[in-house]
Amino acid sequence: MTKQAEAAKGDSIHRGNPVTVDRYTAAARLNHWITAISLVLLALSGLALFHPSLYFLTGLFGGGALTRMIHPFIGVVLLLSFIGLFLRFWKLNLWERTDSVWLGRLRDVLTKNDEKLPEVGKYNAGQKLVFWSMSLLIVLLVASGVVIWQQFFSEYFKVEQQRVAVLIHSILAIVMICVWIVHVYAAIWVRGTIGAMTRGRVTGGWAWRHHRRWLRELVSGKSKVGPKEVTPAE
């Protein structure tokens, strides 16, 4: 596979102590948080409808009937928001040979033995797997959700099809929640990641440690800051 660009629009380096690197624009951050909030609301409302023991969660949405009504509309918001994220970042998440090497050294990843890992672009293999998993799951969840959205589509599908769609939708939702948990845990585990999505910036040391190839491209192609200025520890 040919080498892909590792920087996105708006990525840049700023001199200072420490050196800082713009990682996400305000628009990208807003897009991300709309998607994240939609996912949380869908998980809570979906779980409330999933089992009687979780029905108390409908209280967050004004009761059972209202929960059932707004759940699919939140799904529409999620779809539209994630389309924005997908268009922004899909090229940066294309799989490369170094990603397979990174996965093969997962023990070094978990022990934070970074010097034994290949240099990573803007996203590592784990982040790419989450991105493509969510992309596929959202498409399938929306497709199955349309089948069981009785308010608008009940006349187009048989009862048997709706029953199968409910089962598929429930299984996919559980998988999605698990992927989301992994995503959040990884963001907390790698210190500085959440700050990148709230403030939009990371330190040069953070970029050097976790996404060195991305930083090299910025240094060589988009900034006058020298490599020695962006290689300190976090």
Catalytic residues: 183
- DSSP code, position 24: S
- Crossing angle, helix 64-89 and helix 26-50, to 10 degrees? 150
Alpha-carbon dihedral angle through residues 194, 196, 198, 199, given to the nearest 10 degrees: 140
3-state secondary structure of 230: helix
Residues with Cβ within 8 Å of residue 96, at least 6 apart in sequence: 1, 3, 4, 121
- Which residue matches tokens 């409808």? 49
Task: Compute the distance between CA of residue 188 and CA of residue 233 in angstroms, rounded to an integer.
Answer: 19
Q: Is 13 exposed, middle or buried (0-12, 13-18, 19+ CB in 10 A)?
A: buried
